[in-house]
Amino acid sequence: GSLRAANAGWVSALLKQRVVPVVSALVEDPDSGAVHEVPAAEAVQALGRALEASFDPVACVLTTGDRSGLPSEEGGIQNVVEPDAVTDEDVPEPSIVRRLAESDLPVLITSLQGLLGGAGPTGTRLQS
């Protein structure tokens, strides 16, 4: 079955306080009790599904630079891009961004300043 995040209330509480939690991609197999790593995109998707009851989650991916999104040809920030337009010059792991784009979870490419600097996150949204 698909990965399910149980008891994500603590994550929701931190996010509502504008605290960015660091979450491990380690999971415990309920049958064997063994702990193993899952792909980061899968963990983010599971958290997104678990948090949908509290708010509209958006997966935020931090840029490799200081820009809060992908640069446009005019020198600004692009509003929306196709997942294939994201490269390793933009984010550390473009393949994860593409995997996230395949889910129902909206994806925003931003910087730490773009994530926490204003009334809400700013950046470049991925076309789903």
Q: Where are the domains of the chain?
A: 1-56, 58-128
What's residue 95's pLDDT?
Answer: 92
Q: Are 61 and 107 in contact (CB under 8 A)?
A: yes
pLDDT digits (tens, 9 = 90+) for 66-112: 899 999 999 999 999 999 999 999 999 999 899 999 888 899 999 98
Residue 20 has pLDDT above 60, yes or no: yes
Which tokens is 18 given?
Answer: 């504008």
Q: Are 91 and 109 in contact (CB under 8 A)?
A: yes
Burial class (CB in 10 A: 0-12, 13-18, 19+), 84: exposed
Prediction pTM value? 0.82
Which whole-number Å values give the CA distances from 115 to 12, 37, 38, 45, 61, in the listed order?
A: 16, 27, 25, 19, 9
